[in-house]
């Protein structure tokens, strides 16, 4: 995405959204502290969705009605030895072209 490797990407827990500029902007939201879909709209979420950048949302499952019928869900789990396991799922094949099978 062209984001500088000197930039440390972290959870926006206390700021609600972190913005990272690169060839493609990245907008990283955390909905944990938000109470309703209205709170999401009040922070300008719609403008981010329409910006042409990539929007990543932690705790998106709090407000599923805000998303398309087929969002890409990414689950990250800590595995033994502090490694991470990443699982990407969707209800249809919308995102299939972005992933290669590991089989």
* CATH number assigned to the domain comprising residue 88: 3.40.50.300
Answer left, alpha or beta for residue 81, where phi above 0 means left and psi between -120 and 50 means alpha: left
Higher per-residue confidence, 93 vs 44: 44
Asked if residue 68 belongs to a domain, the reply is: yes
pTM reported for the whole predicted model: 0.73
- Is 74:68 a contact under the CB 8 Å cutoff? no
Domain of residue 90, residue span: 17-98
Strands (E), the chain: 17-20, 26-30, 54-58, 73-78, 84-89
Residue 101 has pLDDT above 60, yes or no: no
Instruction: Give the model confidence (pLDDT) of 50-84 as tens digits.
Output: 998 888 899 988 998 888 767 788 888 888 887 88
Domain tally, the chain: 1
Enumerate the H helices of 2-92 as residue ranges.
Answer: 37-42, 45-49
């Amino acid at each position: 995405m062209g984001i500088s490797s000197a930039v440390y990407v972290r959870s926006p827990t206390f700021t609600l959204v972190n913005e990272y500029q690169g060839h493609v902007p990245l907008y990283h939201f955390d909905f944990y502290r938000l109470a309703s879909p209205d709170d999401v709209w009040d922070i300008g979420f719609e403008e981010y969705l329409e910006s042409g950048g990539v929007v990543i949302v932690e705790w998106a499952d709090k407000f599923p009605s805000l998303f398309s019928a087929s969002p890409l869900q990414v689950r990250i789990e800590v595995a033994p030895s502090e490694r991470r396991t990443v699982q990407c799922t969707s209800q249809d094949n919308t995102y299939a072209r972005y992933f290669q099978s590991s089989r």
